[in-house]
Structure 1
Amino acid sequence: MVDVAYTGGMQNDSPSKVARVITVSDRAFSGQRDDVSGPLAVSMLEEAGWSADVKVVPDDIDAVAGNIRSAVDDGARLVVTTGGTGITERDVTPQATAPLLRLDLAGVAEQIRRVGAENVPTALLSRGLAGVSGNALVVNLAGSPGAVRDGIPVVVSVAGHVLSQLDGADHS
């Protein structure tokens, strides 16, 4: 498996704000196209105060699940996948993610679709999930740069509260 890392500035040293972006794309994995969405997600997360990097994996359930699991095990508090949420046979990101989630946060995924559909009606076809795995928030985004631009602000708007709750804070 090819491991492509983009770490940008790694502006935030806080261990509680460590994110992993996983780009799910056969073409990016094989080098047939550049990964644009993963680095964009990293940049947006870093602008929001997160340390982030990106890995590129193929559209394969085991590769996606293994990388999500590794990110959580390595201490990432936020895992964002890009790609593999559509309706083709190769779109397996939700199937790889679902067994790893101990809590489903359907409202987050619904809001991401809602915001995306304001710009591109077919965003409603994304099967992306959001939930908690271990001590991390995991969110599936569609693979386009537009989906990342629409989705990351939604993720960032709730991530702090989710992590605070996972760490035992009050509901304030």
Structure 2
Amino acid sequence: MVNGAVSMRAAVVIVSNRSARGERADTVGPTLVGRLRSAGFDVADPRVVPDGVDTVRRAIAAELAAGSRLIVTSGGTGIGPHDRTPEGTAPLLAHHLPGIAEALRREGMTRTPHAALSRGLAGVADQPGTGGALVVNLPGSPGGAADGIALVLELAPHAISQLDGGDH
């Protein structure tokens, strides 16, 4: 159950070259999945993909096709040479929700000024048979992702209800 409603599908996509190659264990994905499950979302284990526009776009598109109403990515939102998660996310967004991305950066900056370097996006992706899916890019750092998922969990049920025509 999510806020008294039928459980809905969510997905976590971890964007990390090292984790995708098996060189580093993914610690962020299981944390995000656990938080989503505790909030009542139906969520599989995290999908881990290497950095890149195409890998991110394909992973999000696959989760949209699978019926995920909330898709959270973590990693690849910075300014490094391989950080391309926003570029992989943007083509799939029918509507941008800059307030969510701004709130994530603002919250992160209470802990570290480096949060200002995040280029993460948030928005609505079209999804056949539904009003759409909420897609949010979180930072790859464990602290930034944990802080970010708390905000996402506050907003997601209402946002998805709104996508389905719910009242304000």
TM-score (norm 2): 0.91
Letter in 1 for 2:43: A
Where do residues 8-19 of structure 1 align in structure 2 (5 Å cutoff)?
17-19=8-10
Structure 2 Cα separation of the partners of residues 15 and 161 of structure 1: 14
Aligned residues: 160
Pick one of 145, 161, 165 that aligns with 1:164: 161
Letter in 2 for 1:166: L
Contact 1:16 / 1:77 at 8 angstroms: preserved in 2? no
Tell me the secondary structure at the aligned position of residue 170 of structure 1. Answer: coil
For 1:5-35, what per-residue CA distance to the aligned partner results, in whole angstroms no more than 9, with x for missing partners?
A: xxxxxx88x7652111000000000001000
Which residue of the partner structure matches residue 73 of structure 2? 81
Contact 2:7 / 2:40 at 8 angstroms: preserved in 1? no
Pick one of 41, 45, 59 that aligns with 1:67: 59
Tell me the secondary structure at the aligned position of residue 56 of structure 1. Answer: strand
Tell me the secondary structure at the aligned position of residue 20 of structure 1. Answer: strand
Aligned-pair distance for 1:161? 1.1
Tell me the secondary structure at the aligned position of residue 11 of structure 2. Answer: strand
Structure 2 Cα separation of the partners of residues 43 and 111 of structure 1: 22
Structure 1 runs (4+) deviating above 4 angstroms are none
Which runs of 5 or more structure 1 residues have no equivalent in the other structure?
1-10
Structure 1 Cα separation of the partners of residues 108 and 147 of structure 2: 6
Which residue of the partner structure matches residue 113 of structure 1? 105
Q: Is 1:141 the equivalent of 2:132?
A: no
Which residue of the partner structure matches residue 24 of structure 1? 15
Where do residues 31-50 of structure 1 align in structure 2 (5 Å cutoff)?
31-50=22-41
Structure 1 Cα separation of the partners of residues 28 and 103 of structure 2: 19
Structure 2 Cα separation of the partners of residues 127 and 69 of structure 1: 20
Q: Percent identity?
A: 50
Contact 2:17 / 2:49 at 8 angstroms: preserved in 1? yes
Pick one of 124, 127, 142 that aligns with 1:132: 124
- C-alpha root-mean-square deviation of aligned residues, in Å? 1.4
Contact 1:141 / 1:147 at 8 angstroms: preserved in 2? yes
Letter in 2 for 1:59: D
Contact 1:17 / 1:51 at 8 angstroms: preserved in 2? yes
Letter in 2 for 1:136: A
Tell me the secondary structure at the aligned position of residue 102 of structure 1. Answer: strand
Tell me the secondary structure at the aligned position of residue 110 of structure 2. Answer: helix
Contact 1:24 / 1:59 at 8 angstroms: preserved in 2? yes
